[in-house]
Structure 1
Amino acid sequence: MDHTNEEYSEDEILAFAQGDDFVSANKPNNDTQDQEDDIATDMFMQGTQVPKQVSNSGSSSLGTLVTGPENLRITENESVVIIYVRAENRDNIKIGSYLVVPYPNNEKMFARVKELTYMQKYPSDDANELHSIRVENTTLDEEEFKLLAYLEPLCILYNETGTKLARRLVDKIPKPNTVATHVKDIDSIQTGLNIPNEGIFLGYVSVGGEMIETTTYPYNVSYYLQNNDPTREPLIFRHALICGSTGTGKTFVGKNIIRQFISDNVRYSIRDPAIKGEFQPCVVILDPQDEYSQIKEDNPEMPQDYVDQMNTVKIEHGGVPKTKTFTAKIGNDRSYSPTTSASNKEFTVPFEIVRSNHWLLHGAEMNENQIYGLERLINDYFNSKQGNYSYNDFIDFVTDIDNKKEYTEDTNIIHEATYDSIVRRIDNNHYRNVFDQGADKITDILDQIFVPGQVSLFPTEYISSTKSRDILILTLMTLIVDNKLKNNGEKVIKDTPIILTLDEAHRYLSNARSIQARAIVGKFTDAARQG
């Protein structure tokens, strides 16, 4: 039956599109013709039923998959999946939004919006002066444009066993005209993004800085740090970095993460098989800007409904009662002025720590001859005494005329010019103000610092000399790492899970140009290899 030459009125075409019966004014109205039309209509309407969302999906339905702009395509390298976004939903979609597109077998493609494109519904040249002036004071009519969203398929969500949701690679193509919707349940988002659904709470998943809202309590999608990887080693004991530009809240985030690790429910075992049980970690914070000391205090301005929500989902908040501050006594610098109610303990760095860390005296770049000479002088000094080591005594040793003559003339071990340059580099007030001040040695109060469940703060903002401050920070870092790596390290350090937090880390670890920086980076690299 050929209808190519027949004409239909607009009412007849609209009635056909809506599925209503109609009679053409241009063809006879008889039973035979009606039967033929019914058969043609049935043939036209037959096809594969595309999957639809539940009827109460409401505003979560954004639009449908289309093939007009480009062919719908799924490949191993690059896919083309486009949806037409309905006019009433266009303010509810943005780059990074997560959507699902159902398949006929109840599986769903989980995708991310990677591109948004406006197209003219009725092609016209709007790049001209007259059009610009005409529309200046008019309201945009969304019906005049098409908004297309290009999707990046991330995975396919399916029920693996019973009701457990699982994910796999995108290996099949969705049907055209399928309705795409926002993801509105927590399980689908966590599975689709392949993020843990338990562990150490880090924050909430967001798109463009706005938290994703779901239809189930607690309405936001929690992002966790997996507390154990497949080898059962806590992930936090590898390096972790909080990065961001100035003023973006790195310290604020860091404090909240630290609160989660001090929870009574977070415990770790010790590698030594002789030590049974699990222990809370000790969080050691090296704080050059004195920004973490307030972690002991509660926030009285926190809304009660927010407190109730955090309690419901077991998020640690508020002050950490078990917080102590440890401050170094530095020469004639002013003493530390507490900004918190945490107790404070003053200490000094003993020079004897240099015995196994010669690089602490490598204040500036040295050539090979200078390094060799300094190593020899340090070793000979510690081997010549049975105790009572001090920085001033070491300087007396290297500046002694007879000792210099022995090294430069009698044995020619060190060239005289090299010897003099070594003395100039190590004999300065930066070292003199750090080592051997009138306070308890840090090595004598390790049992007060490394306590399970405690936050131990080391603020250094009060120290006026940047170089003295850096020497102190590097000393504390190496004290922890060395004792963790040594078989005969200090027992209180080896037997305590330690989370070391270094604020302003880029100052010490990013550009390993100096001997000191290279040494500490090497130690942390070894620590990461050993876990």
Structure 2
Amino acid sequence: MTDSTDDIAAKYGNQDSTAGEAEEEEMADPVLGDDSLGHVALKDSQLFVGRSEMQIIAYIDQHERDGLRVGNYVCIPYPDATTEPNEDEVLLAAIDRLEYRPITEVNDWVDGGGYSDFGEQNLAYVSHLDPIAIVKHDRLKDTLTRQTVDRPPKPGEDVHLIEDEEILRVGLNIPSDGIYIGDMAVSGDFIPNDENPLTYLLSNPNSTDGTADEGEPAIFRHLLVAGSTGKGKTHFSKNILRQCAVSKQYPIEVPPEEQEAFGIDDDIRHRYLNLFVIDPEDEYVEMRDDNPGLSPEKARELEDKGVAVGGLDDDLQVFAPVTANSQPTLDDIRTFGIPFSVVENRPQLLLSSRPKDPTFNAIRNVLNAYFGRFDDDSNDEPTYNDFETWLELNGDQIVNNDNILAAVERRVTGPIYDRVFDHGSTSLDEYTNDMFNRGQVTVVPTGHLRGETEKLVLLALMTHIVENKIDTGVEHPQIKGTPMLLCVDEAHEYLSSTDRPREQYLVQNFRQAAKRGRKDKFGLYMVTQNPQDIDDEILKQTNTRIYLGLQPEIVERIRIPSDYDDRIVTFDKGQAVVDAPDVRPVEVQGLDVCVTNHSN
């Protein structure tokens, strides 16, 4: 025997009745409001909360059914949870499943199907809820606090579609201050509503705001932005990076080399961030300029919600690498060359494939002998052309086996090294202090480079950065003593697991850097359409992952939050899932405009 809708109303309370409405209006909770979607139901199911499993089901009123979606957030009051008259508690939950259940004998196996007259009134619309947190509201202090779900709501309690953005923020544990990522959404629709969507912020404790003791900034726990071509990765990233380029200081240890050189007594200094961008398509250079398509009204609207807008002007400096046959065509830039000296102590940079141990040891010995000719008082600089000549004249004195010497020469000589090393009027070493200025955005465009030349240039540059950041006794304390966020677009090209010695050497260094990011104030921001190719050890240290729309074959090979793995393949441009530390994975909608210039 099944209950009619009247039976259900009698059993659980008539949610559509207006009895006692005046009294309820007088007692209405300012957080919940008056309207409800339905109520907690017990029919044909259990209502329970456990350590590993929970089940809460809600009956949805007929007039509220059409607007609900899987993923919507709801709250349910605990009216008798506390004896304090000025405290209330609510359960925040997400709709995990929606289903129709017949409550009378329904026969729709007839001609006409949906046009038959069995009627909505003969169906129960049931929502399975995923409990997230209990939120306590202290009316006197006007504060909200988050607690673990440790008890179910009572049968018959009203279920409300979330309207208060602060209940949502506290329940999901989203920071109230930090780096703007986008606006909360469900199935592309803003929540709690279109007029006042909840802004999604990444935690960013810093010295400037006096919050440095409140935790670790998300940027130093590393970020991944992944999305297929056309889903807005660069647009999305430009908007995030523009928020990172504001004037915030972070505490950082002063390197001993800097203390000694400048007579600094402090172990800790508070310093501005250097945002360093590897730009393979010459797109991030545009962040220097305003977006001509951003109207003054829209800019004011964004600024009112705490979003930084506008080009960076002179706060963004461009340094472009030059090679023997490639010159950048961009305006207002400084060019630099990769000095052969970067190879000293890094023989892996000369190895496109793995040699046998005797050959590798001989290469190391040859390089040590060559670079050992130069000291701090020498007026000469090591160059690749000089090394080639020296090796031809002296190689047999260092390597006494003709076969091994021939193998060494094949490895360390070749046209790619002639193209890459020692070009331009200024070297990377000479520009290092300027490139890593605190409070500056540095962009290195490489759109003028191609193939293995580009890869070797960037491997040498990134090795220079990461080793000076994480090593002791560094040559460039400016890098080590500067809080830094390194953005690598097309990250899968450089940070993938590989057997090639060059890339493997860089990956090993970045594994260490990823583990030490919080200590060294070094963050890695990776942008890619192939997240499955990023080295697993680096990914394990990447705490914030932003997934835009991805192809099904990519989704199958990576870890997507389970609530979204089936839906992310249908995401529109700018629609994303954010999986951040200590925060429940949620959907956000990025801005439809870029806050700086973006021509693509």
Bin of the TM-score, shorter chain as denominator length: 0.7 to 0.9
Select the residue among 416, 421, 424 that pairs with 2:410. 424
Tell me the secondary structure at the aligned position of residue 438 of structure 1. coil
Q: How far apart are 1:283 and its partner, in Å? A: 1.0
2 CA distance for matches of 1:495 and 1:212?
42
Kept after mapping to 1: 8 A contact 2:91/2:133: yes
1 CA distance for matches of 2:30 and 2:482?
56
Tell me the secondary structure at the aligned position of residue 80 of structure 1. strand
Deviations 1:243-269 (A, max 9, x none): 2222222211211111112213x1223
2 CA distance for matches of 1:269 and 1:304?
36
- Which residue number in structure 2 is paired with residue 79 of structure 1? 54
1:246–1:254 Cα change, 3 Å: same
Kept after mapping to 2: 8 A contact 1:391/1:436: yes
Kept after mapping to 1: 8 A contact 2:335/2:424: no
- Which residue number in structure 1 is paired with residue 325 of structure 2? 332
Matches within 5 A, 1:119-134: 119-126=101-108, 130-131=110-111, 134=112
2 CA distance for matches of 1:61 and 1:500?
48
Q: How far apart are 1:65 and its partner, in Å? A: 0.9
Kept after mapping to 1: 8 A contact 2:359/2:404: yes
1:446–1:139 Cα change, 3 Å: farther
> Identity rate of aligned residues, in percent?
28
Greater relative contact order (CA < 8 Å, ≥ 6 in sequence): 2
- Which residue number in structure 2 is paired with residue 10 of structure 1? none
1:396–1:80 Cα change, 3 Å: same
Corresponding position: 1:167 with 2:146: yes
- Which residue number in structure 2 is paired with residue 267 of structure 1? 249
- Which residue number in structure 2 is paired with residue 257 of structure 1? 240
* Alignment RMSD: 2.9
Amino acid at match of 2:372: N
Q: How far apart are 1:141 and its partner, in Å? A: 4.8
Select the residue among 66, 70, 74 that pairs with 2:41. 66
Q: How far apart are 1:231 and its partner, in Å? A: 7.1
2 CA distance for matches of 1:95 and 1:117?
10
- Which residue number in structure 2 is paired with residue 24 of structure 1? none
Kept after mapping to 2: 8 A contact 1:64/1:85: yes
Kept after mapping to 1: 8 A contact 2:272/2:483: yes
2 CA distance for matches of 1:89 and 1:525?
51
2 CA distance for matches of 1:434 and 1:96?
52
Tell me the secondary structure at the aligned position of residue 286 of structure 1. strand
Amino acid at match of 2:62: A
User: Which residues of structure 1 form unaligned runs of 5+?
Assistant: 1-12, 20-48
Corresponding position: 1:405 with 2:386: no
Q: How far apart are 1:379 and its partner, in Å? A: 0.8
Q: How far apart are 1:336 and its partner, in Å? A: 1.5
Select the residue among 321, 346, 358 that pairs with 2:335. 346
- Which residue number in structure 1 is paired with residue 421 of structure 2? 435
- Which residue number in structure 2 is paired with residue 489 of structure 1? 475
Deviations 1:322-356 (A, max 9, x none): 212111111123x2222xx6x20111011011113
Q: How far apart are 1:124 and its partner, in Å? A: 3.8
Tell me the secondary structure at the aligned position of residue 439 of structure 1. coil
Corresponding position: 1:237 with 2:229: no
2 CA distance for matches of 1:399 and 1:481?
33
Q: TM-score, normalised by structure 1?
A: 0.81
Kept after mapping to 2: 8 A contact 1:53/1:179: no
Matches within 5 A, 1:117-516: 117-126=99-108, 130-131=110-111, 134-135=112-113, 141-159=119-137, 162-214=141-193, 219-228=196-205, 232-264=215-247, 266-272=248-254, 274=266, 278-321=270-313, 322-333=315-326, 335-338=327-330, 343-386=332-375, 387-400=380-393, 403-408=394-399, 412=400, 415-464=401-450, 466-485=451-470, 486-516=472-502
2 CA distance for matches of 1:391 and 1:125?
84
Kept after mapping to 2: 8 A contact 1:185/1:214: no
Select the residue among 70, 73, 93 that pairs with 1:95. 70
Q: How far apart are 1:120 and its partner, in Å? A: 2.7
1 CA distance for matches of 2:485 and 2:295?
30
Q: How far apart are 1:473 and its partner, in Å? A: 1.1
Q: How far apart are 1:214 and its partner, in Å? A: 4.7
Q: TM-score, normalised by structure 2?
A: 0.72
Q: How far apart are 1:526 and its partner, in Å? A: 2.3
Indicate the larger mover: 274-283 or 469-478: 274-283
Indicate the larger mover: 515-524 or 273-282: 273-282
Amino acid at match of 2:309: H
Indicate the larger mover: 221-230 or 309-318: 221-230
1 CA distance for matches of 2:408 and 2:120?
76
1 CA distance for matches of 2:202 and 2:114?
50
* Higher radius of gyration, 1 or 2: 1
Q: How far apart are 1:292 and its partner, in Å? A: 1.0
Indicate the larger mover: 490-499 or 251-260: 490-499
Indicate the larger mover: 300-309 or 441-450: 300-309
Q: How far apart are 1:70 and its partner, in Å? A: 0.7
1:139–1:359 Cα change, 3 Å: farther
1:137–1:482 Cα change, 3 Å: same
Kept after mapping to 2: 8 A contact 1:329/1:439: no
2 CA distance for matches of 1:480 and 1:471?
14
Q: How far apart are 1:487 and its partner, in Å? A: 3.3
